[in-house]
Structure 1
């Protein structure tokens, strides 16, 4: 649990340090993915400021948390706690910590839904129809988190380099063209090529001798 909280704190710290990386996290990460209610509220503050294209720093995050009533006189959180999270040293990239937070949320959702389905199967008072309906609802909730996980993998994955296309092998010999090394040589058919035909020259002297004979 403490490791999960550390991941959430690092995500918030990198978000404050690199505010331009926050806005696209709304496509796959939500406040309910956080284990700490304070961290969930601070993430909502960061995404709200980024959506309005406002400056993001510890002071603006503190003001936004007060505006969203995350900090109240009778509340469990204090301004010192907010500033402590926002002023931590940022290490790594925002996408890295965001995927770690979402992975923990996905594993927790799978664990909770498995327990819920187990309780349904142990309830002998449920009819088969009620059991199937309850199981489908549980799997639907898990599929929602799994869909956001797939979007996160697509958003953070780096494109792989394309492999060069290979030409199909040919049995015919190929001529080498040194003047154009970048162009593939053309196939030469040596079997169908005939020697050049020499021009016919008439020898008048021989013809005269033949006529005399």
Structure 2
């Protein structure tokens, strides 16, 4: 891929690889500079869709200035040559208005991107193969802008999910997830997804929690407490084996919930036997280790369960954000695929979010039964009788 200098992005003299979207930006700006009457057809795009301050400034200037009357055929080389020469008069003949307009665009754009010259505008015009293809260039820019927006919102989600300085990490993380879902909806409004548009990008692996040892200790305490007080398990339908960080702990929790559901006796021995029947102990060298931590209950099971679920919510949000980051990093994914993949990633977070709300919402009893009004046993009064009483 050719290397092109991005003016006002990386500093003078710095060259960085230019993605295809960058050339689409040049082509669109060149089309609008050479044939500004095409601007009304470029809908759904704004200056922030461009990757460099220079491109954004030029597009904003084109939007702000009234377009001159179209010239047929336009002599772009003569217009730019006259602009460089800075003539006292606008220019010869029929191109004078267009030349003056280009000068106004350059002046307006310089307010946002200092250092722009007429040579930059000439480069943009030269980079446009066919001005009538401007709508296609616009679509490319919209697609790349959508990719960057998704990536940025996903990064905010992953960062918030791992930010240990937040006093209330779950609400903050879910707020970022809502913001990301809003970006996905915005992209879907421009690029409606269709069937069969799943991303082909390999998913990133699930990262271990940053506080793995603390998480494992809390899970063991919960298993011991639930074994000692199995009645509390019935209050924790919002906690599932997927919320545990270790497969052994997840399997033991499944054994506990199965025994409670079957109304079977629950103690360390019966749980250990159930674990053996389910193959949970296949990777355990000595079952006495499991039996040991199942016999040491500590605090209340719902409290520990809520802490485990809290960690699971943050881990799920972090993984969803990383999945969307991975999708948006792959240039082979179309906007349609990004929408479908992002919604699937956020759907998993929505499911565990519902369980979090169930765990943290105040317990509410069944709605009070309404007592129906007592029905009259006597005959209903007739209208005639009522009228008769009124006339007495």
For residues 179-207 of structure 1, the C-alpha deviation after alignment (integer angstroms, 9 at most, x for no partner) is xxxxxxxxxxxxxxxxxxxxxxxxxxxxx
Write out aligned runs for 1:33-182 (5 A): 33-72=243-282, 75-88=283-296, 90-154=297-361, 157=362
Contact 1:5 1:36 in 2 (8 A): yes
For residues 50-83 of structure 1, the C-alpha deviation after alignment (integer angstroms, 9 at most, x for no partner) is 11111111111111111112124xx345311220
Count of paired positions:
153
Contact 1:70 1:77 in 2 (8 A): no
Question: Larger C-alpha radius of gyration, 1 or 2?
Answer: 1
Q: Distance in 2 between matches of 1:81 and 1:106?
A: 29
Per-residue deviation, 1:112: 0.6
Tell me what 2:146 maps to.
Answer: none
Q: Distance in 2 between matches of 1:87 and 1:66?
A: 17
Bigger proportion of residues as helix: 2
Q: Distance in 2 between matches of 1:141 and 1:70?
A: 25
Gaps spanning 5+ residues in structure 1: where? 160-213
Q: Cα RMSD over matched residues?
A: 1.4
Tell me what 2:370 maps to.
Answer: none
Contact 1:113 1:139 in 2 (8 A): yes
Contact 2:235 2:302 in 1 (8 A): no
Which structure carries more relative contact order (alpha carbon 8 Å, separation 6+)? 1
Q: Distance in 2 between matches of 1:38 and 1:107?
A: 21
Q: Distance in 1 between matches of 2:292 and 2:252?
A: 12
Find out whether 1:6 has 2:217 as its counterpart: yes
Q: Distance in 1 between matches of 2:313 and 2:264?
A: 31
Tell me what 1:181 maps to.
Answer: none
State the TM-score, normalized to the length of structure 2.
Answer: 0.38
Q: Distance in 1 between matches of 2:273 and 2:287?
A: 10
Q: Match of 1:22, SS? A: helix
